[in-house]
Amino acid sequence: DIVMTQTPLSLSVTPGQPASISCKSSQSLLHSDGKTYLYWFVQKPGQSPQLLIYELFRRFSGVPDRFSGSGSRTDFTLKISRVEPEDVGIYYCMHGMHVPRTFGQGTKVEI
């Protein structure tokens, strides 16, 4: 299985300030088709996880542009340019290269 490792595991942020979460995979997530199958999800309190970023950097429908994904092969970053109060939750990275998909441990973002 591909191991996904996130840092930090918790993050306290001030509204309006930037935030960054790192994710590393034990294998390259760059597929021969040129796409990188790395995803970011957020689980807000009491809710199901929801998709933020797919294929490394593409924002899912309705996701604000303050969220951005970057990286390559095994090292990835989710950035929030200016944190809003509604961004509190647990953020997970995940690979989609094969079954089983595996998730990072999660990063809890608090205001």
**Interface contacts to other proteins, rule CB under 8 A:** 1, 31, 35, 37, 39, 41, 48-51, 54-55, 60, 92, 94-97, 99-106
Residue 11 vs 51, nearer CB to other proteins: 51
Q: Cβ 90 to other proteins, closest distance in Å?
A: 8
To other proteins, the closest distance from the beta carbon of 87 in angstroms equals 19
The DSSP output letter for 101 is P
Q: Which amino acid is at 4?
A: M
Q: d(Cα 6, Cα 39) in Å, to the nearest integer?
A: 13
Give yes or no for a cis peptide into 100 (omega within 30° of 0).
yes
* Residue closer to other proteins (CB basis): 20 or 102: 102
The answer to whether residues 78 and 93 touch, using CB atoms and an 8 Å cutoff, is yes
Q: CB-wise, 9 or 18, nearer to other proteins? A: 9
If the CB atoms of residues 51 and 88 are measured against other proteins, the closer one turns out to be 51
Q: Cβ of residue 65: shortest distance to other proteins, in angstroms?
A: 19
How many alpha carbons fall within 13 Å on the CB side of residue 103? Answer: 12
CA 69, 58, 67, 81 dihedral sign is: positive
In whole angstroms, the minimum distance from the beta carbon of 48 to other proteins comes to 4
